[in-house]
Structure formats: structure tokens, C-alpha cells
């Protein structure tokens, strides 16, 4: 077997991590032949809960899991890690706006960026899950100047999975038969779920999602609204934020980053914008990407209609506002 790799999960005593840690440790992310050492970071009040999580991981008797390192110290948590799932953040609760989270959470990601810069492997793959994820990823990258900016990503795979599932349900096909749904922009209610380039397999024939759904108005209204508001809808029903589905999406994101995407298939990731599709540079913006040799590349040349451009501009505006506010908070900290 290969040498173990070190993987850190922050907020490790929390709800998302409770599902995520098991998925990682049983080989669903880095492969069934890759041993792991898990670093679990949380805040001091959660140490007792963290001990319970470690007991459960031990009791799962997972062959790939070689060691578990619980800690409240970022210096220990990020030491020599190859991959980082930055889940820990102040959670969003019912009635809260995302901007309510920003001030508290960007300070967390400033500290974690500095710790990654000092202690992690320089080729570490960083996935930010804690909200506001896109802006937290931008802050983290800013405070880790010796790690390439392309190594910092934000999770919009949950939104992609939601959108893919909505189309599959509408058409009446298995979710695996829908591909290339795009999430543009921010992981927020301004995101633009875009079915214009999606493909649905019906029988043995690939059809455009627009043709398969057969309802253009739905794809411009209800479909977008359901995906944009799904997180808030889950909170209203559960009285807690999405956990199981977020953990699954985090695994999907990192697995594809690690192993690549099949030819002809792209996935949505929040990555540092280079200005593609007239987006603002230097914000973490969700694009369709293809991945090869652990390197993502923005899919270029997709036709964008006026409706899509207007939606993409709206989420761009929000990301710029968030980034400016976040950097102002960090500079006064």
C-alpha cells in the first residue's frame, strides 16, 4: 500500500464532519488503497465531543485509517497535510443572512490561511466548506502567499448536486444520467444554476437538458429558485443546516480534484477568477472546470445568453462586495 497521507478536517466535532469523516476514512475520496492519518481540529469547548467522534471512528475498524490526531491547535492540525477540508465556521441558523456570518468567519479563515502557509505541504489541496465559502476561500488564499492560489477552492458542488437532482426528477431519469449542469458565481442565493449546457441521457441518446425538460420557463424560474433557496429550505425543515448532503458534496469535490473528470464532463468549483466570462478577477467564483493531474482548468468558450449574463453579473457584484467587506474586517483584526 501507499504511504499514508495526512488530511485535516476543521470543525471536526460538528454535524457535517460527522458524515464527512466516515466517508473519507473508508476511502471514498482518496481511493480504496490510500491509507490516511486524519487531523481533527475544533475549538476547546468541543473537545469532549471530539473524543466521542474519535471513539466512533475507532469502532468503525476502518482498514485505511492509520491514526487520528485531535487538536485545538492550528499548528498541529495543518502540519504536513496533503488535503484540507475547512468545514469549521459559525453555522448559519434560521433567519440569519450570510452577511451576518461574514465578520466572525473571515477571522477564522485568516488564521487558518496563515497556519496552512506555515505548516502544510505546499501542494496542499484546500476545500472551503464553511460559509460564506467563496469569500472565506479568498481570504484563506490571501493569507497563505507561499501556496499557489489555485490550491484554494470553495464548495459549490452541493449546489450542482441539487441542480442535477432537480433536473433528473423533472425528466424522470436517474441522477447519474444528468451531467454538465453549471453553478456560476457565489454559494449563496445569488448563484446562477445554469442548465443551458447540461445533457440528459434518455435511453441510449444524449439530449440537451432544455429539450429533455421541455419547459424553458421552468428552467428560468422555478428551477433556479429551488436551487438558490434549497439551503434555507432545509434549515426551515430540519432547524439545522444541510449536513449529510454537504458532506457528500465535499467528498465529490475533493475526489474529482484528486482523480480528475472524465472526458466531456465538467463540474462546478469555486476557484480564483482569472476574468473568464467577464467575471471580476481575484474573487473566488464558481465556474465549470475540467480536472486532470490534480489541476483544474476553467471550461472556455461556452455560449452565454443575455439572461445568463445578467444572472452572472448579479452574483459577481455580491462577491466583490463580500470580498471588500472581508478584507476590511481582516485589516482591522
Q: Is beta strand 83-86 parallel, antiparallel or unpaired with respect to 5-10?
A: parallel
Q: How far is CA 93 from the centre of its chain?
A: 19
Q: Is 264 annotated as a binding residue?
A: no
Q: Is 149 annotated as a binding residue?
A: no
Q: Is 162 annotated as a binding residue?
A: yes
- Is residue 187 part of the annotated active site? The answer reads yes
Burial class (CB within 10 angstroms; exposed 0-12, middle 13-18, buried 19+) of 203:
exposed
Q: Is 157 annotated as a binding residue?
A: no
Among 187, 197, 253, 255, the active-site one is: 187
HEC secondary structure over 118-148: HHCCCCCEEEECCCCHHHHHHHHHHCCCCCC
Q: How many residues are listed for the chain in this entry?
A: 333
Q: Is 98 annotated as a binding residue?
A: yes
Q: Is 129 annotated as a binding residue?
A: yes
Distance CA 185, CA 280 (A): 10
Look at residues 199, 136, 135, 190 and name the one whose alpha carbon lies nearest to residue 159: 190
**Sign of the torsion formed by the C-alpha atoms of 262, 192, 151 and 100:** negative
Q: Is 92 annotated as a binding residue?
A: yes
Q: Is 48 annotated as a binding residue?
A: no
Q: Which residues are annotated as a binding site for substrate?
A: 92, 98, 131, 162
Annotated binding-site members: 42, 92, 98, 105, 129-131, 162
The set of catalytic residues is 187
Binding residues for NAD(+): 42, 105, 129-131
Amino acid at each position: 500500500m501507499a504511504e499514508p497521507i495526512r488530511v485535516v478536517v476543521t470543525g471536526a466535532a460538528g454535524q457535517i464532519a460527522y458524515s464527512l469523516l466516515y466517508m473519507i476514512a473508508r476511502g471514498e475520496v482518496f481511493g480504496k488503497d490510500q491509507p490516511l492519518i486524519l487531523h481533527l481540529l475544533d475549538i476547546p469547548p468541543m473537545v469532549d465531543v471530539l473524543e466521542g467522534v474519535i471513539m466512533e471512528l475507532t469502532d468503525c475498524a476502518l482498514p485505511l485509517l492509520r491514526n487520528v490526531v485531535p487538536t485545538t491547535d492550528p499548528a498541529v492540525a495543518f502540519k504536513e497535510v496533503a488535503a484540507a477540508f475547512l468545514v469549521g465556521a459559525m453555522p448559519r441558523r434560521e433567519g440569519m443572512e450570510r452577511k451576518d456570518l461574514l465578520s466572525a468567519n473571515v477571522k477564522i479563515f485568516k488564521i487558518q490561511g496563515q497556519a496552512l502557509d506555515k505548516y502544510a505541504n505546499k501542494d496542499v489541496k484546500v476545500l472551503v466548506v464553511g460559509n460564506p465559502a467563496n469569500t472565506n476561500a479568498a481570504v484563506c488564499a490571501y493569507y497563505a502567499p507561499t501556496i499557489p492560489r489555485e490550491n484554494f477552492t470553495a464548495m459549490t458542488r452541493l449546489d450542482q448536486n441539487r441542480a442535477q437532482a432537480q433536473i433528473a426528477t423533472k425528466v424522470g431519469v436517474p441522477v447519474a444520467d444528468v451531467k454538465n449542469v453549471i453553478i456560476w458565481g457565489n454559494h449563496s442565493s445569488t448563484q446562477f444554476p445554469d442548465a443551458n449546457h447540461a445533457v440528459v441521457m434518455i435511453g441510449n441518446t444524449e439530449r440537451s437538458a432544455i429539450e429533455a425538460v421541455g419547459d424553458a420557463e421552468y428552467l428560468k424560474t422555478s428551477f433556479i429558485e429551488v436551487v438558490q433557496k434549497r439551503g434555507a429550505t432545509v434549515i426551515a425543515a430540519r432547524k439545522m443546516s444541510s449536513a449529510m448532503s454537504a458532506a457528500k458534496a465535499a467528498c465529490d469535490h475533493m475526489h474529482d480534484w484528486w482523480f480528475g473528470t472524465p472526458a466531456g464532463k465538467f463540474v462546478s468549483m469555486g476557484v480564483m477568477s482569472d476574468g473568464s466570462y467577464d467575471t471580476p478577477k481575484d474573487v473566488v467564483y464558481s465556474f465549470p472546470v475540467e480536472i486532470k493531474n490534480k489541476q483544474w482548468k476553467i471550461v472556455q468558450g461556452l455560449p452565454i445568453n443575455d439572461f445568463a449574463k445578467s444572472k452572472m453579473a448579479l452574483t459577481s457584484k455580491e462577491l466583490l462586495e463580500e470580498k471588500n467587506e472581508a478584507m476590511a474586517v481582516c485589516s482591522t483584526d
